[in-house]
Amino acid sequence: MIRGLDTTVRRIRRIVFEEVARLGFKANAETLLDDMETIPYKIVNEETMKYRESVYRARAIVRERLRLAMGLSLRPENKPVHLTSGVEASNISDKYYEPPLMQVIPSACEGCEEKGYEVSNMCKGCLAHPCMEVCPKGAISMVNGRSFIDQDKCIKCGKCKAACPYDAISKKERPCAKACGVNAIETDKHGRAVINTDKCVSCGMCMVNCPFGAISDKSQVFQLARALSEGDQIIAEIAPAFAGQFGDNITPRNLKAALQELGFSEFYEVALGADIGAVAEAHHYVNKVTTGELPFLLTSCCPSWAMLAKKYFPDMVDQVSQELTPMVATARTIKKEHPNAKVVFIGPCAAKKLEAMRRTVRSDVDFVITFEELQAMFDAKDIDLTEYEAESSFHNATGAGRGYAYAGGVAQAIENCVKEYYPGVDVKIEHAEGLAECKKILSLAKVGKMNGCLIEGMGCPGGCVAGAGTNLQVDKAKKEVQKLVAGSTRKLPPKELEEIELK
pLDDT digits (tens, 9 = 90+) for 229-257: 998 899 999 999 999 999 998 999 999 99
In sequence order, what are the beta bridge partners of 102? Answer: 217
How confident is the model at residue 140, as a pLDDT? Answer: 97
Contacts of 194 (CB under 8 A, 6+ apart): 104, 185, 186, 187, 188
Quick one: which of 499, 482, 503, 25 has its CA closest to 262?
25
Q: Range with the lowest mean pLDDT among 4-8, 312-316, 370-374? A: 4-8
Is pLDDT at 61 greater than 70 in this prediction?
yes
Mean pLDDT over 401-427 rounds to 96
Task: Select from 176, 222, 209 the least CA-distant residue to 9.
Answer: 209
Residue 124 scores a pLDDT above 70: yes
- 10 Å Cβ neighbour count for 467? 31
pLDDT of 275 over the 80 cut: yes
DSSP secondary structure letter of residue 48: S
Q: Under DSSP, is residue 369 helix (H, G, I), strand (E, B) or coil? A: strand
**CB-based contact 221:17 (threshold 8 Å):** yes
pLDDT band for position 465 (50/70/90)?
very high
Distance CA 411, CA 415 (A): 6
What is residue 153's predicted lDDT score, i.e. its pLDDT? 96
DSSP 466: G
State the CB neighbour count (10 A cutoff) for residue 493: 28
Q: Rounded to the nearest 5°, which phi and psi values hold at 312?
A: -100, -20
What confidence score (pLDDT) does residue 110 get?
Answer: 94
pLDDT grade for 425, boundaries at 50, 70 and 90: very high
Dist CA 346 CA 369 (whole Å):
5
pLDDT of 377: 98
CB 258 within 8 A of CB 106: no
Taken as a whole, the chain contains a residue count of 503
Q: Residue 205's pLDDT band (boundaries 50, 70, 90)?
A: very high
* Averaged pLDDT for residues 164-181: 95
Mean pLDDT value across residues 311-329:
93
CA angle 454, 457, 463 (to 5 degrees): 130
What is the distance between the alpha carbons of residues 404 and 400, in angstroms, rounded to a whole number? 7
Q: Is the pLDDT of residue 23 over 70?
A: yes
pLDDT 10s digits, 81-92: 999 999 988 877
Residue 60 makes CB contacts below 8 A (sequence gap 6+) with 107
Beta carbons of 234 and 262 less than 8 angstroms apart: no
Q: Among 145-159, 283-297, 384-398, 454-468, which is the least confidently predicted range? A: 384-398
pLDDT tens, residue by residue, 358-391? 888 888 999 999 999 999 999 999 999 999 888 8
> DSSP secondary structure string, 209-266?
H-TT--EEE---HHHHHHHHHTT--EEEEE-GGGTTTT-TT--HHHHHHHHHHHT--E
User: What does the pLDDT average to over 154-159?
Assistant: 96
pLDDT for res 441: 97
Q: What are the residues whose beta carbons fall under 8 Å from the beta carbon of 296, sequence distance 6 or more?
A: 289, 319, 445, 450, 451, 452, 453, 454, 455
Looking at every residue in the chain, the average pLDDT score rounds to 93
pLDDT in the model for residue 443: 97
Q: Which of 84, 94, 70, 93 is nearest to 31 (CA)?
A: 84
Tell me what the mean pLDDT of segment 450-474 comes to. Answer: 96
Kindly state the average pLDDT of the residues 60-77. Answer: 95
Contact 369, 217 (CB under 8 A): no
Closest CA to 223 of 67, 30, 94: 94
How high is the pLDDT of residue 2? 73
At position 338, the amino acid (one-letter code) is: H
Tell whether omega for the bond before 100 is within 30 degrees of 0, i.e. cis. yes
Q: What gap in Å lies between CA 296 and CA 414, rounded to an integer? A: 14
303-312 and 435-446 helices, crossing angle to 10°? 50
Report whether pLDDT(27) > 90. no
Q: Is the pTM of this model over 0.85?
A: yes
pLDDT at 503: 60
- Residue of higher predicted confidence among 89 and 69: 69
What's the start-to-end Cα distance of the chain, in Å? 41
**pLDDT for 392:** 79
